[in-house]
A and B are shown apart, each in its own frame.
Chain A
Amino acid sequence: MSPLSATECLLQMCDERHELEDYQSGVPRWCTGCGDNAILAAVQRLCRDEGLRPEKTVFVSGIGCSSRLPHYMKTYGFHGIHGRALPIAEGVKMARPDLTVFVNTGDGDCCSIGAAHWIHAIRYNMNLTVFLHDNQIYGLTKKQASPTSPIGTRTNTTPRGSYLEALNPLTVTLGVANVSFVAQAVDWVPEALFDIVTAAYHHKGLSFVRIIQRCPEWMPKTLEPWLHDPNRVQLLHHANGLPLRAGLARVYKNQVEHDPSDINRAREIASSHDIIPVGILYRNPDVPCYEDLLRPDQLRTIDMKRAALDAELDKHTVWPREANLLV
């Protein structure tokens, strides 16, 4: 990184500082005990610590409990339509590359109705930070099976228990061309959650963070074995990834060193069954971003854009006089 010039330093000194409250808006309507609260706290902390300017920050979501997050952020937000958080976010980023764009999406929103967009967003690798709030259920619509519900989950749509193996969002993401950042967090280890969210924000490209999130309302028991046995949570650490925090390491003794540039190992880790790996699985800063590939090398003034638009529309215009000549 090149050092800041004197001018840049002085300007930084003039920057406004924000408190956590400056990013808070309204009182969340989530159930008490819902893991979404922890995710909200982590992103608000990120905004404050990174000094993100509220008017330059956008949270985009689809539909679901988790997708209500933009309402609770005092930044720009777009509560979109079900499954379409990613394309909306891509549009925002394309039009305004200067904005910091976050995406909050649920397991139903992303992996079910939005699955096609999910795959292509990874391949496009635009500079977005995506949080998959994975509570393994459709929460908002009161308990229907989602693609990530564990096999056998009894829900309103699967009263005898779901029949299919759950889809693994990590292995799916790691299998798509151009994938550049994949991490996993759990809502109940806030220190790790914050570190991972921060690393995701700093990655240039699409950073995909699956956050395993508790839904005490509909899935009160599913995650209990992991909550009660810290050894079933595995901390990933590496000199090129996240360092091990002493406080965490005392509680979570199951630790493994993993180099995030190793995609094969990342895929193995992502396939773990009983263990929940927490940390950065994969990171490749060299994958180009779609918006950079498409960036025009020439400035486009308003007049140029208008001329181009006119030319395009003219192709479809019927000119009355010429039309007359034809008759």
Chain B
Amino acid sequence: MEAATHAHITFFLTGSRSREHLESVEGLDLRPALLAGYRALDELRYDFPLVLVANRPDGPLVQSLSGVIDEALTATAKGVDGERIRQHGLRIERDLRALVASGATGLLSSLWDGATSWLERDAEPSLDDSLRRIRAAIVVDGEVADCDAALPARLLRHLWVAVQARKVAALHQHLDRLVMKLTDILRADFERSTERRDASHLKASVGKGFGDAFDFDAMSRVLASAGTGDGFPEGRRKRIYQLLAVLTSRAFLPGPDAGVDPDGQPYKFIFGSCSEALDAFRTRMPAVIAMARAMAIAELEIDGQYRESRHDALFDEFGANGLDPQDLAAFPDYLVCVHAGQLPAAEHARLMEILTSGLPIKVLLQIDDILEESPDEQGALTAGMRMRQIAGMAMGLNDVYVMQSSSSNLFRFREHLLRGLQCRGSALFSVFSGASGAASGLPPYLVAAAAMDSRAFPAFVYDPSAGTNWAARFCLDANPQRDLDWPIQRFAYEDERHQKVSDDLAFTVVDFVASDRRYARHLADVPREKWSGHLSAVTESLSRERNGLPTTVPCVLMVDERNILHKVIVDERLIREARRCREMWHSLQELGGIHNSHAEALLARERVAWEERVQQAEPPMPAAIVTAPVAAAALVASPAAVREPERSSDEAYIETVRCSTCNECTTINSKMFAYDQNKQAYIADVTAGTYAQLVEAAESCQVAVIHPGRPRNPQEPDLEDLLKRAAPFR
């Protein structure tokens, strides 16, 4: 074996780099070839930064800066000046993006002012005009947020506040209605009281103009003797006053009216730890139960349905077992933002407690670094393992809303974020911020996007309210080329002879790790003169288990800051992790119905069976059987297919279900013919009348459902004639 190949294989197996044949990647500032185009993010139009819209409660709650500019340009960039305005709009967008990337924060309006004041100094006159028009067309305003470590919590808080504001407004409105109706009831009671019928009150109710026109004393005496009955029982009045007291004490609702808790602290709903949120939830539970109880009683009271004998006992026990998610749904939720990287065991336990008990607490579990290596550098290198465990466990609970996403994808997941925040019970948002890129000088957006694309941190949603099975609940759609193991992209470059070459490259988790400088020791740069056929793509190494000595060494294509192509080999530890990532991706795919092993096995079995049938030249199924007449199907499906019992023609009976309640028969003899619980006729007592009456009823029944049977009394007069008349009905 050639010495260089030997050195490469040794590196692959052991991670030890021969200085003679391999170079360190440290200091080369390499990045995966597929990321070559993303050096200057500010130059690109993409989802970030975002505008957390604060002034449009009924519109979208979050928009991308480029979306905002596009909307404004659609409104303004028209006519002869159109192209000029468009160019200027895109220029200011680029400036804003750069401003935000350099750390500027604030409202869109103030950032705009900052960026444009700078521009206008040496501006062409038309620029001023373009900007003025575009600015006038921008209706939204709010904090501008870039894709950074703070984004997940910022975005979630922003949405949470909006969702809660709507919820609390609806609750207030509901409570206001109850209070108003209860007050009306008390007022009505008061109007009927003796006190109210007193002359001075009567006078006051007529108004000034005609105050002297009546004798109110006389009126009062008349009304007193009219005896409109007493007012409410004291118990009811007391109950209503108690309800009003509870329904008006709303200090524990978030919003401008929020009060302070018994310890004098303002009520909070957003917490930095699960324990704090759980404690707050539990402390406030009695107030929530009291409110829910008062709401339920008030509804009955308003409807005039409250019966002490029936309801008192029920409401004495109310909420002894807490409230179920439906009952809790009207009340505010809690938001917890925690970092998975610093989750002490106790916090982990409380998180599980929240999720398993389905409390209305929404948890943002953020991670800034998904790569973990055992501290002695000997064990496994894993990607996203901690988050997978927690998200997997949460999905196993079946009723928790679970969303996982890189922060780069959060804007596209905004509807899923909202759904999660609006769901009943708990929700888990597992988010990778991409902040670990700082160690390698990479922007968080790029790292977050790379984690998602490389399957190191796939995006998915599990929504228990979307249906009853995985097909309805689980969605993997956001991931690129989700049918494949790894997404494939075309990569074009110039070789040393300046020829254009292009290749399809898979973007794998190995590329993701390779872009992280902290793991440089798992990579080694192969000098150009040592490039040879034994360097193979990572996917090739992944496709087969190593049996014996490897013949090829996996390498990734990377570029340095001058965009010069490098081939970088990786050690086996990375390949092992890539394999694990791929397996986990396969499990997710199966959950998402992609290459589902059960379905594929079934399909294969059916195909074999079908082929066998075809070979035996069995005649195909007649089409008629396949499309069975719908009427017949409906008949079978009918739940009310009650068959009438078989009757003998000697028996007197009525086809009761067909009786149209016309009163004919019951008028002839109301003892013989009677109505059942559905007011349809049957023969109640055949001995209560004559055969002649049976025959007469049969003849008068317009729907002909009375069957007179045989006469019971052979002595009855005119039997022969009666039997003749009865014949058509028997």
- State the A residues within 8 Å of B (CB): 2-8, 10-11, 14, 19-20, 28, 30, 32-35, 37-38, 40-41, 44-45, 55-56, 98, 187-191, 214, 216, 227, 237, 239, 243-247, 249, 251, 255, 257, 299, 301-302
Contacts and interface: CB of A to CB of B under 8 A. Distances in A.
Contacts of B239: none
A237 B311 CA distance: 43
A33 B664 contact: yes
Given A190-B659, A246-B638, A302-B187, A7 B296 contact: yes
B53 to A, nearest CB: 22
Given A243-B637, A299-B180, A227 B642 contact: no
A48 B569 CA distance: 80
Q: B638, B644, B667, B677: which has the most chain A beta carbons within 10 Å?
A: B638
Given A44-B679, A257-B631, A251 B658 contact: yes
Interface string B599-643: 000000000000000000000000000000011001101111111
B105 interface: no
A229 B292 CA distance: 59
Contacts of A44: 679
A290 B137 CA distance: 36
B543 interface: no
Contacts, number: 122
B324 A5 contact: yes
A300 to B, nearest CB: 9
B310 interface: yes
B663 interface: yes
B300 interface: yes
B206 to A, nearest CB: 15
Interface of B: 173, 176-177, 180, 184, 187, 292, 296, 300, 303-304, 307, 310-311, 314, 318, 323-324, 326-327, 630-631, 634-635, 637-644, 657-664, 667, 677-680, 700, 702-703
Nearest to A33: B662
A96 to B, nearest CB: 12
B359 to A, nearest CB: 16
A302 B635 CA distance: 55
B702 A299 contact: no
20 contacts: A5-B327, A6-B323, A7-B292, A7-B327, A8-B326, A10-B314, A14-B307, A33-B663, A37-B660, A38-B660, A40-B679, A41-B679, A45-B678, A243-B639, A246-B638, A247-B640, A249-B638, A257-B631, A257-B634, A299-B177
**Which 6 A-B pairs have CB atoms at the shortest separation, nearest pair first?**
A5-B326, A246-B641, A41-B679, A41-B661, A38-B660, A244-B634
Contacts of B659: 190
B662 A38 contact: yes
A257 B630 contact: yes
A171 to B, nearest CB: 26
Given A32-B667, A44-B679, A251-B658, A245 B700 contact: no
A38 B663 CA distance: 9
A108 B342 CA distance: 80
Given A5-B327, A34-B662, 13 more contacts: A19-B677, A33-B702, A38-B662, A40-B679, A55-B304, A98-B303, A189-B660, A190-B659, A243-B634, A244-B631, A245-B638, A249-B638, A302-B184
B702 A189 contact: no
Given A14-B310, A244-B635, A6 B326 contact: yes
A251 B657 CA distance: 12
Contacts of A189: 658, 660
A53 to B, nearest CB: 8
A128 B702 CA distance: 31
Q: A34, A189, A257, A299: which has the most chain B beta carbons within 10 Å?
A: A299
Given A5-B324, A6-B326, A302-B187, A33 B637 contact: no
A311 B276 CA distance: 53
A67 to B, nearest CB: 19
B244 to A, nearest CB: 14
A4 B326 contact: yes
B631 A20 contact: no
A272 to B, nearest CB: 19
A214 B660 CA distance: 11
A38 B701 CA distance: 13
Contact of A247 (B303, B631, B634, B641): B641
Nearest to A257: B630
Contacts of A245: 638, 640-641
A244 B630 CA distance: 10
A216 B700 CA distance: 11
A98 to B, nearest CB: 8
Given A3-B326, A5-B327, A10-B314, A20 B635 contact: no
Contacts of B304: 55
A239 to B, nearest CB: 8
A197 to B, nearest CB: 13
Contacts of B303: 56, 98
Nearest to A13: B314
A34 B663 CA distance: 8
Contacts of A30: 663
B256 to A, nearest CB: 18
Contacts of A14: 307, 310-311, 314
Contact of B661 (A40, A243, A249): A40
Contacts of B296: 7, 11
Given A189-B658, A299-B180, A45 B300 contact: no
Nearest to A37: B661
Contacts of B327: 5-7
Nearest to A302: B184
A165 to B, nearest CB: 27
Contacts of A33: 662-664, 700, 702
Contacts of A7: 292, 296, 318, 323, 327
A255 B663 CA distance: 29
B643 A188 contact: no
A41 B658 CA distance: 13
